[in-house]
Structure 1
């Protein structure tokens, strides 16, 4: 699982370079999402943040701004809400979601890069893809 320990000044630089003001809630959110990969729901992020660092409205606003600035990625697994993770430069991955307990695992290997290249050869540009796997995890498979 990808984890990135960033210094406080590196987190501040990411926020500043995006054109946002540096605030304690924004710093805490990014520190969490660079340390723990996720993807996490807003509620999970809120529960993991230091108590009293921000309210839920501030969290949702910050997540929206970070997503707009491409600091965070959001993914949706047909759960009725989004999950967020830090947009690690140069890192691409997929997820495996348990159909029973909904636990999410990161699958670091990308199997479809070759397909992306074939699409580019067809004349398309800026090719992107998202691929999620849904299965029953070993813990939930036990009878």
Structure 2
């Protein structure tokens, strides 16, 4: 992933986290990112897999949906596990682009085919891309479930 692509992926993730609820929306957010990528002529497939997180020498497994771009992880919704697992919230970053922390591993089970994804209207995707292009580099910080609930639901 070159620097320009990495910056675009970071901006998309920050936009999603800043604007949309992430709790329990991993499959929808990964579909959203896949479809945004299609409009940009980028292949960012939505993946169904398992998130392995090492906690005190043991691995905890979480079923999870995320994206992959050029063999690199793009995960906009990993922070949902920090919201629901408060005792280990420090183990989850806000999002992941390219480099995963050493205590986190991803296992890929299968691609979520387009036919099985939630479909976004072209107008909605175009509007989001315009917002992403003008999205200022906002410094995100950790937030709570109540903060997340105040955000826009991606399905409207």
* TM-score (normalizing by structure 1): 0.30
Structure exhibiting the larger radius of gyration computed from Cα positions: 1
Compare relative contact order (CA 8 Å, sep 6+) and give the higher one, 1 or 2: 2
* TM-score (normalizing by structure 2): 0.28
More strand as a share of residues: 2
